[in-house]
A and B are shown apart, each in its own frame.
Chain A
Amino acid sequence: MTPNESVGGAAAPAPVAGEAGDGVRLSAIAKRFGAVVALGGVSLDVPPGTCVGLVGHNGAGKSTLMNVLAGTLTADEGTIAIGGDDVTAGYAIARARERGVRCIFQELSLCPNLTVAENARIEHPSLTGLSWRTEAGRLIRAKLDEIFPGHGISPGAVVADLSIARRQMVEIARAFSQTATPVRLVILDEPTSSLDQTIARQLLDHIRRFVDGGGSAVFISHLLGEVLDISDRVVVMKDGLVVADEPAAHFDRDGLVAAMGSVGGHAAAASTQSRRDTGAPKVAIDARGGGARLTAHPGEIVGLAGLAGHGQTDTLLDVFARAGRTKGAAIVDGRVAFVAGDRQTDGAFPLWSIAENIGIGSLHALKQGRFISEAKEGELAERWRERIGIRAPSVWNPLLSLSGGNQQKALFARALASDADIILMDDPMRGVDVGTKQEVYKIIREEAEKGRTFLWYTTEMDELLICDHIYVFRERAIVADLTRSELTEEAVIQASFRQDA
């Protein structure tokens, strides 16, 4: 590593007046949650006209650091300087916004019961008067048009009715739109995880334009290609400390992975041997929009590909609803478990511990006599905490004390710990770091070898490479049926877009 490297904990250089002083500077920030040290003295400097990429494993402290910067968490130690002024004392969300710090969080912050325009108004209190709704609508629509041409989102639409990708687009447009205070710094925490490639590209282009115009951005993503593509500088975090801070040009993908301290770099090649001929299918179902029939056999990993929101989730829900009964032409032969991608709506029980969240999928197995045994519940959770690597001091800690990726692992553990022989995965790996992904892929492989069937909706090419068989969805129909040997990125993309489009 180069002398640029700044290891946290050591005395950070004192802020110097001048060029760098115009930007945002965090110095020696420390934050503790009970016994857990989330940040151990981290310094980060974001000058104007720069995009800083921030990478690291789940639980490395990226989100905590960004929450401190956004004012949603107060640091235990350290200083925050914006535009050369020390703003540490009394720094909170309102102060951050005043100073032009905006953020787009991994957990979306829109109110689902309000319209797009009303949500825009929440962050722009200067829109007053009788026509605030129209004004807010105009503001958000203009920004959406600018960032995502052809977005198709109406300002009058209620957020709950929008797909998760569209909600993310609104959230992004809202953070970039400007009324009373200028936008100085935008934090983007996994902004592309629920967007498909075209839209993600539009966002990256917009960030570039914004930064070239003198703004600054902090970009967090587990898609390392994106980070290297968009960032001027890349900061690598590990265990609450900064372990590398260098110009993006000094890194390549493997270099970043190494700096993060990951185990494996590339997906283990799936065995090419077909399982199609062995016995009756576990699942056979039509997509709501028709097309080819989806079938899955014991021990098979079946990928559901295509652009986000083209009926893949609906098909998984149909399989879930038909579990154990043969209704019409659909066959679902066995017990099913569902791994949510949209964790807050479909998966998490927010008031419960990690153990209770895992155990809820296996209540029958946890019974000792007539009653649920807490000892058994703890054992089950402990076993999976180790196997899947959930980073928590105790399985009885609240689920919400975990970082996003670790919460996702707990939901994986819930499904895998159950007695289900068919596992449905609703793009659950978004927002999960590279190392964790590899670990989970390995477990999925192992479980498939044991005869479990996986239906896996994913928007990532790397994950499709693990599948034995791939169905591509477009406009709610299955438009391509690819075996492993036929799978190429080109084939998937070609099937995902209409030929005449």
Chain B
Amino acid sequence: MKAITTFFRQPWLFAFAAAIAVWIATAAFTQGQGAGEVLSVAFTFATFFVIVAIGQMFVVTLGPGNVDLSIPATMTLAGTVSMKIMDGLNWMILPGYLIAVAVGVVVGVLNVGLIRVLRIPPIIATLSSSFIIQSAAIWYNRGLRVKPPTMLADFTTAKIAGMPILALLVILIAAVMHVVLNRTIYGRTVIAIGQNARAARLAGLEVNRVRFLTYVMCAVFAASCGYVLAGFSGGAALNMGQEYLLASVAVVVIGGTSVAGGFSNIPGLWGAALFLFLLVTMLNTFGLGAGVRLLLTGLIIIAVITLAGGSRSSER
């Protein structure tokens, strides 16, 4: 009994319930036709949401005001730079990835520099750094679309029994990050800072180092996402990160992470990412026009965040 009640108190349950409800609504509309394919496609696209959302979640957990708005620009820069350097050569796949990671590290250091050294609030700092990063991508890319190496394209689109291999890999990464969040000194420190930064420092935790690592890690996740997304969609595009700004924050919040910091969970990211994609699919299936669809998506996200936030605050 006790196990059941604790199960129903999990903050990520809501996101999965919403995702399943939307999926069932879609399947009901089509009388079950193509429900399996819809799920398979949802996993493909949710994977990219989850990669950026993991980094964003750690940043948001650091406490009020902490958010990384440079994720879309970082994805674009990492995608364009790595594609151009790999130049479609299969043996360059690993060096290309390392270059994407390096782009992430540079962006992360830039963000922390603005936040810590110049004392700019994170929301402004990451927004302004994203202008620099996006401009760098435009300058470097000059509108060329370089095709990804064939092996990378094959890998990012491969499926086993309808399940994308990339999704399986990211489920594994999410599991690892779950352990990192809850069972390592780093993760505990992130949560402690989010609840009470002053108390964290006085408890002897390395607050500044952990903040630094978290912003760098978030940028590296964004860069990795840019790399695989460019591989998946046949090359990098300058607007490829666009929808990931809202998505990264929405997935984190719908997934049951507190916007006020100090309270977060990884499983919810998957539930929320699937929900977001399935929601758009459902509205498409219902045959709604693009304008109405976007409007409804926005309204539904607001409703879900309000509901999820409300249920959590009454629990405490």
Residues of B close to A374: CB separation below 8 A:
183
A-B contact count (CB 8 A): 59
Pick the contact of B262: A349, A367, A372 (CB < 8 A).
A349
Taking a contact as CB atoms under 8 Å apart, the answer to whether A340 and B202 are in contact is yes
Taking a contact as CB atoms under 8 Å apart, the answer to whether B196 and A363 are in contact is no
Q: Which chain B residues in 189-212 approach chain A with CB under 8 Å?
A: 191-192, 195-196, 198-200, 202-205
Q: Mark A438-469, 1 if CB is under 8 A from B, else 0.
A: 00000000000000000000000000000000
Taking a contact as CB atoms under 8 Å apart, the answer to whether B195 and A349 are in contact is yes
A336 to B202 alpha-carbon distance, docked (Å): 10
Task: For the complex, count residues of B whose C-beta is within 8 A of A.
Answer: 20
Taking a contact as CB atoms under 8 Å apart, the answer to whether B205 and A360 are in contact is yes
Residues of A close to B192: CB separation below 8 A:
349, 360
Taking a contact as CB atoms under 8 Å apart, the answer to whether B198 and A414 are in contact is no
Taking a contact as CB atoms under 8 Å apart, the answer to whether B195 and A346 are in contact is no
A420 to B183 alpha-carbon distance, docked (Å): 22
Residues of A close to B199: CB separation below 8 A:
340, 345-349
Q: B184 in the interface, Cβ–Cβ < 8 Å? A: yes
Report the minimum CB–CB distance from A343 to chain B (whole Å).
Answer: 9
Report the minimum CB–CB distance from A402 to chain B (whole Å).
Answer: 15
Q: Mark A335-366, 1 if CB is under 8 A from B, else 0.
A: 11110100001111111100010001101100
Pick the contact of B196: A335, A336, A350, A370 (CB < 8 A).
A350
Contacts A349-B262, A351-B263, A418-B204; A372 near B185 (Cβ below 8 A): yes
Q: Which chain B residues in 159-218 approach chain A with CB under 8 Å?
A: 179, 182-185, 188, 191-192, 195-196, 198-200, 202-205
Residues of A close to B182: CB separation below 8 A:
372
Pick the contact of A414: B183, B196, B203, B316 (CB < 8 A).
B203
Pick the contact of A347: B183, B188, B202 (CB < 8 A).
B202
What 5 A-B pairs come out closest when comparing CB atoms? A371-B183, A338-B202, A349-B195, A363-B185, A372-B183
| Cross-chain pairs A/B with CB under 8 angstroms, 13 sampled | A320-B202, A338-B202, A345-B196, A347-B199, A349-B199, A351-B191, A352-B191, A363-B185, A364-B185, A367-B185, A372-B183, A374-B183, A414-B203
Sample of 11 further A-B pairs with CB below 8 A, known A348-B199, A360-B200: A338-B203, A338-B204, A340-B202, A346-B202, A349-B196, A352-B191, A371-B179, A371-B184, A372-B185, A374-B183, A420-B204
Residues of A bordering B, CB below 8 Å: 320, 335-338, 340, 345-352, 356, 360-361, 363-364, 367, 370-372, 374, 414, 418, 420
Residues of B bordering A, CB below 8 Å: 179, 182-185, 188, 191-192, 195-196, 198-200, 202-205, 262-263, 316
